[in-house]
Structure 1
Amino acid sequence: MIRDKSVKKPTEDVAKKATPAKASFRRERALIKRGIWPVAGCDEAGRGPLAGPVVAAAVILDPDRIPRGIDDSKRLTAEERERLFDRICATAQVSVAVASIARIDRDNILRASLWALKRAVVALPETPRHVFVDGRDRLDTACDCEAVIGGDGIVLSIAAASIVAKVTRDRLMCALAQDCPGYGFEQHKGYGVPEHLDALNRLGPTIHHRSFFAPVAAARAKHMPWTVEPVPDLFSATDVEVSVEAAVEIEASAGP
C-alpha cells in the first residue's frame, strides 16, 4: 500500500496547543516582585440562571500554600470543586457576597453582579492592593482593579474565586430546592434548561425567580395575569378621535 507522505500525524506540540492551559499564579507573582501585595481575585456565579441569587467571591491566595488543582470551576467536576473549596477556605483569605433576587429585579443582572463583586472585595479580612476580576468590567475599588476576559481560566486567584462562588451558590440552590419542590433546583441550579422551563410552564414562578427574565415573565403572565400591568395603547381609536377633535377646535378658534 502506498502511503501519502504529505499527510503528517499531529505532533505533540500541536496536541498540547489544542488543550487549554490551566490558570496560573504568574500575574500575581509579577506583582509580588514589584512589592504589591495582597493581590485578590474575584468572580461571580449565577449571572445567567432564571432563579436564585448571584454569588460573588473574592480570594487572596497564600503564595506558600496554594492548593493543587485550582482551575476554572467550569473545567472541574462537582466533586473536585467541593474538595478544592475546602482547601481554599483553609489556606486563603476568602469572602462571599450575595445579590438577592430583589436587587437583581431592581438594578438589572449586570449591576447586581458588579455590586456583589465589590462587596466581596470590601469584605476580605485584609484590604488588597490589587484586584483581578473576571470579565470586561472593572470594579470601583480603592485599589487598582484589572479586568481579565476569561480570567477564571487564566489567573489562579480568579479561578479560586470562581470555585468558591460556584460551590456556595450550588449549595444555596440545593437549599432552595427543599423550599420549592418540583422545579429541580438541585439539578440545574436555576438555569433555563428544558426541565426548568417545563416546570415554570406547569407551576408558575416562585419568589426565587427573576421577574424580568423573559421565560419567568411569560410564566407569570400565564399563572398570575393580575400581577402584569397592562400596557396602554397609544394608537387606540379613542385617543385619535380626541386628538382630532382638539385640533379642529383649536383651528376654529384661530380663524378670523
Structure 2
Amino acid sequence: MMILKLLAPIILFAIAILQGLFAEKINKIKWLKITLICLLLGSLTVGLIIISLDEKNANNFSKQQKDNIDSLRIENAQLKNNLDSLHRALTKGMDDRSLQEIELNKKVSELNIKLEPFVKLALTKYPAYDLQSALNKIAQDIENAKKLAEPPILIPNAQEISRDKTGLNMLLQFKLSKNQSLGQIIFYAEIEDGSTAKIVEFWPSTKGGAFNSGPDSKMIAPDGKSSRLIYSLIGAGNPTFDLKVTKAVTVRITSNYLPEPFITKIE
C-alpha cells in the first residue's frame, strides 16, 4: 500500500515533466501519446483506489477505536460495580462484627454482674487462695450442697428366688445412696416380653425393716401383667419387697426413688 501511495504521484510527476519537455514530439508519436494517457489514467485510478482504501481503513480504525472505548467503558462499569459490591460486603461485615462485639461485651458485663456476689463470697471465704482457686472451691461447695439436697436413690442390693407349688417368689432388696429417711415409697412391677405369666403377690418384706401400709397399698391388674405397691418405712431400713409370679418371667421394676427401670429375671 505504501508503494502504491508513492508510485502514483511519481508517475504523474514524470508524465508532467515529459509532457513539458517533449510535448511536440509526443504529439507527433501517436502510440507514445496514448501510452502517456493510459499511464495518466492508471495513476489517477490508483490514486482514487488509494484514497478509497485509506478512507475505508480510517473508518474501520475509527470503528475499532470506538468499539474498544465502548468495551473499556463496559469493563470499567463492571469493575466499579464489583468494587462497590465488595465495599458494601466489607462494610456490612465490619458492622456485623461490631454488633457482635457489642453484644459479646454486653453479655460479658452481665455475666460479671452475676458473678460479682460469688467473687466476693469466694474471696471472703477463702482469702488465702487466688481468685480462680477460690471460685473453684466455691463451685465445689455448691456442687456438694446440691448433692446433699438431692433425694436419695435406690440401688438394687440383694435378690433371692424361691419356688413353691403356686409359682416363683423374688425377694428384692435395695440400699440407699445416702443415709436419709425416705418418704412414701412407690414400686411398680410389670411383666415383660408378652409372657403368659401373671403377678399374684406384691408386698413389702419385714427383712427391710418395719413399714406402714394401708388398704390401697397393693394393686394388681386384673390380667396380672402389672402391679403397684405403696408404703413407707418406719425408721431406718432398706426397702425390700416380695414379688410372686406364676412362672419364670422377666419383670420390669420402677419406683419414685429409682433413677431408671430395673429389669430382672425371675427363674
Could you state the TM-score of these two structures normalised by the residue count of structure 2? 0.20
Structure showing greater relative contact order (alpha-carbon pairs closer than 8 Å, 6 or more residues apart): 1
More strand per residue: 1 or 2?
2
Provide TM-score, normalisation by structure 1.
Answer: 0.21
